[in-house]
């Protein structure tokens, strides 16, 4: 029954006796009749035409078409088969056992390094996806977001790599000596995947720490050497991020010239620092002179930031690597990171610094562990041991220019205020592509 009240309609279904079934109707027909009646009343209450209603009821009454059968799987998937555990767990061969005296801790040594290689494979998988997304002439915001996710995963993997060192250090130097000599001349220096990671990120041959006059690929098999040298010629993540940064807009809009405003703010900040040094009663004349000289060096750094020719000279000297336009864009992203359109780019640049920093930390932890394990001995691969690893931790970096951006940051209170039209443009509607 239908009851009406002020501004509403009420639909009631009166309970009644079970409909009489004819034995030829089957069990579906009473249900279908009930559905048809309810649909009819509901449609009439809403003013629908009888023609539409009858079409609807006819569709309910018609039996549904049989579902397309899904092909049955050839066989049930089994956990060990999916993961290839028979092969995976059968590739820990103790070299010490082959020499007649199995060393207990060699199993730990093998598993930790195999785990490293598995994680390196995952890092390469993530890096290749980021490289693909940044490979076109335009990088969409959605691709920047995906790249941030991929790089964030790499950072988490790096934390696991650092924890592996804690596990490996449960092995004492004497435990290591039980099998160390059997490993010569094999060395982690021969890890092809780690060299590929370095090259994918943008490590350049001339910036690497080397422990001999021979190239870093000299201790590899010919096929591995060819693979790594080919990777050196491919566009790296550094190359593609630099190109993306160089296309960043917002540097100049109409009468608003960001760099002119920023330079004025920097000069005011440096002048305030100069007054503070000169009037500081706690500093001696010698200390004031030393701090004023440092302040002048800082001013020279800023001048190179504002002068494209000076910047080009620094690039030629190897003191900087990013192009002038890319460096300015990276700085602007850091200064105005709170603007909606710059939040993802800022996270991307921060994660690149994290990746560089984490590999530096991993190399340094490795150097400390090697020093603890073998002292001043040479490494199994012929390097100077911990001394080479420590130098590699200092030199083998890619995104140093991004790390150094902190030099050019100024307080938020001193930042030039963006004109309203620029702020509106920096909303989510803007796409980072050439104007």
Q: Are 151 and 271 in the same domain?
A: yes
The yes-or-no verdict on residue 25 having pLDDT over 60 is no
Q: Does residue 302 sit in the same domain as residue 416? A: yes
Examine residue 230 and state whether it is found in any structural domain, yes or no.
yes
Measured over all CA atoms, what is the biggest interatomic distance in the chain, rounded to whole angstroms? 113
What's the mean per-residue pLDDT of the chain? 83
Residue 241 in any domain: the answer is yes
**Predicted local distance difference test score (pLDDT) of residue 63:** 55
Domain encompassing residue 393: 105-435
The structure tokens 């598995």 sit at 118
Same domain, 347 and 266: yes
| Long-range contacts, stretch 399-403, CB < 8 angstroms, 24+ apart | 399/202, 399/238, 399/352, 399/353, 399/355, 399/356, 400/321, 400/356, 401/320, 401/321, 401/322, 401/327, 401/330, 402/322, 402/330, 402/349, 402/352, 402/353, 402/356, 403/353, 403/356, 403/357
Q: Do residue 167 and residue 235 come from a single domain?
A: yes
Q: Is the pLDDT of residue 325 over 80?
A: yes
Q: State the pLDDT confidence band at 174, using cuts at 50, 70 and 90.
A: very high
82 domain-assigned: no
Question: How many CA atoms are closer than 13 Å to the CA of 393, on its beta-carbon side?
Answer: 16
Shared domain for 51 and 145, answered yes or no, is: no
231 and 160 in a common domain = yes
The tokens describing 159, both together, are 């934390």
Output the pTM of the full model: 0.78
Between residues 168 and 67, which one has the greater pLDDT?
A: 168
Same domain, 45 and 116: no
CA terminus-to-terminus distance, the chain: 66
pLDDT given for residue 3 in this prediction: 41
**Does 250 have pLDDT greater than 90?**
no
Judgement on whether residues 39 and 166 belong to the same structural domain of the protein: no
36 and 125 fall within a common domain: no
Whether residue 63 is contained in a domain is answered as: no
Q: How many domains does the chain have?
A: 2
What does the block give as tokens for 418? 């963006």
- CATH number of domain containing 204: 1.20.58.480
Of 5-9, 250-254, 260-264, 273-277, the least confident: 5-9
SS3 331: helix
- Name the least confident of 15-19, 279-283, 391-395: 15-19
According to the model, what pLDDT value does residue 251 have?
Answer: 58
Identify whether 231 is part of a domain: yes
Query: Is residue 31 within 8 Å of residue 22, measured between CB atoms?
Result: no
Tokens, residue 353:
């610094």
pLDDT per residue over 262-308, tens digit each? 899 999 999 999 999 999 999 999 999 999 999 998 898 899 898 99
Name the more confident of 308 and 420: 308
Q: Give dist(CA 213, CA 426) in Å, integer.
A: 51
How many whole angstroms separate alpha carbon 5 and alpha carbon 276? 80
Least confident of 19-28, 255-264, 370-379: 19-28
pLDDT of residue 311: 93
User: Mean of the pLDDT values across residues 200-227?
Assistant: 87
Please check whether residue 91 lies inside any domain of the structure. Answer: no
pLDDT at 2: 37
User: Quick one: pLDDT at residue 6?
Assistant: 45
Percentage of the chain lying above the pLDDT 90 cut: 57
Q: Is 80 part of any domain?
A: no
User: What is the per-residue DSSP string for 342-382?
Assistant: HHHHHHHHHHHHHHHHHHHHHHHHHHHHHHHHHTTPPPTTS
Please state which of the ranges 1-10, 110-119, 271-280 shows the lowest mean pLDDT.
1-10
Does 429 score more than 70 pLDDT?
no
Per-residue pLDDT at 55: 56
**How is residue 55 written in tokens?**
């079409």
86 found inside a domain: no
- Rounded distance between C-alpha atoms, residue 213 and residue 188, angstroms: 19
Summarize pLDDT for 227-240 with one digit per residue, the tens.
Answer: 999 999 999 999 99
CA distance 125 to 345: 21
Question: 36 pLDDT band (50/70/90 cuts)?
Answer: low
The pLDDT of residue 34 is above 60: no
- Report whether pLDDT(387) > 70: yes
Lowest mean pLDDT among 46-50, 90-94, 245-249, 297-301: 46-50
Of 414 and 422, more confident: 414
Same domain, 48 and 115: no
Q: What is the rounded CA–CA span in Å between residue 31 and residue 36?
A: 9
The neighbouring-strand residues paired with 10 are 3
Output the CA torsion sign for 57, 62, 63, 65: negative
Report whether 194 contacts 377 (CB < 8 A). Answer: no
Q: Is 51 exposed, middle or buried (0-12, 13-18, 19+ CB in 10 A)?
A: exposed
Does residue 295 share a domain with residue 401? yes
Residues 430 and 351 in one domain: yes
Confidence bin at 225 (pLDDT 50/70/90)? very high
- Three-state DSSP class for residue 313: helix
Separation between Cα atoms, residue 315 and residue 345, nearest integer Å: 24
Please report which confidence band the pLDDT of residue 377 belongs to, taking 50, 70 and 90 as the band edges.
Answer: low
State the residue for tokens 């390094």: 113
pLDDT (average), residues 335-357: 94
């Amino acid at each position: 029954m239908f009851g009406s009240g002020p501004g509403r309609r009420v639909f009631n279904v009166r309970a009644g006796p079970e409909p009489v079934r004819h034995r030829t109707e089957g069990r579906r027909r009473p249900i279908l009749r009930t559905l048809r009646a309810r649909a009819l009343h509901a449609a009439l209450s809403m003013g629908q035409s009888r023609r539409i209603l009858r079409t609807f009821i006819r569709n309910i009454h018609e039996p549904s078409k049989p579902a397309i059968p899904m092909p049955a799987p050839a066989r049930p998937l089994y956990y060990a088969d999916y993961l290839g555990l028979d092969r995976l767990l059968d590739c820990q061969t103790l070299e010490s056992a082959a020499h007649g005296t199995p060393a207990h801790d060699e199993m730990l040594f093998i598993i930790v390094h195999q785990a490293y290689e598995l994680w390196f494979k995952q890092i390469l998988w993530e890096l290749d996806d980021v490289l693909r997304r940044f490979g076109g002439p335009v990088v969409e915001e959605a691709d920047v977001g995906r790249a941030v996710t991929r790089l964030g995963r790499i950072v988490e993997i790096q934390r696991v790599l650092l924890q592996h060192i804690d596990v490996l250090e449960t092995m004492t130097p004497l435990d290591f000596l039980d099998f160390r000599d059997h490993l010569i001349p094999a060395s982690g220096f021969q890890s092809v995947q780690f060299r590929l990671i370095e090259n994918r990120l943008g490590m350049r041959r001339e910036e690497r720490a080397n422990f001999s006059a021979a190239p870093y690929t000299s201790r590899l098999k010919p096929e591995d050497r060819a693979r790594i040298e080919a990777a050196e010629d491919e566009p790296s993540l550094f190359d593609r991020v630099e190109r993306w940064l160089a296309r960043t807009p917002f540097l100049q809009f109409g009468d608003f010239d960001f760099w002119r405003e920023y330079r004025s703010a920097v000069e005011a900040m440096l002048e305030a620092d100069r007054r503070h040094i000169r009037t500081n009663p706690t500093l001696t004349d010698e200390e004031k002179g030393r701090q004023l000289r440092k302040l002048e060096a800082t001013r020279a750094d800023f001048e190179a930031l504002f002068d494209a020719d000076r910047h080009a000279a620094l690039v030629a000297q190897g003191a900087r690597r990013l192009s002038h336009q890319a460096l300015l864009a990276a700085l602007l992203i850091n200064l105005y990171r709170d603007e909606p359109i710059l939040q993802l780019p800022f996270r991307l640049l921060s994660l690149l610094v994290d990746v560089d920093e984490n590999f530096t930390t991993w190399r340094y932890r490795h150097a400390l562990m090697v020093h603890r394990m073998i002292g001043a001995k040479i490494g199994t691969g012929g390097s100077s041991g911990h001394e080479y690893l420590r130098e590699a931790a200092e030199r083998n970096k890619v995104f140093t220019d991004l790390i150094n951006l902190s030099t050019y940051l100024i307080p938020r209170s001193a930042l030039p205020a963006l004109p309203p039209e620029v702020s509106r443009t920096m909303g989510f509607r803007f796409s980072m592509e050439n104007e």
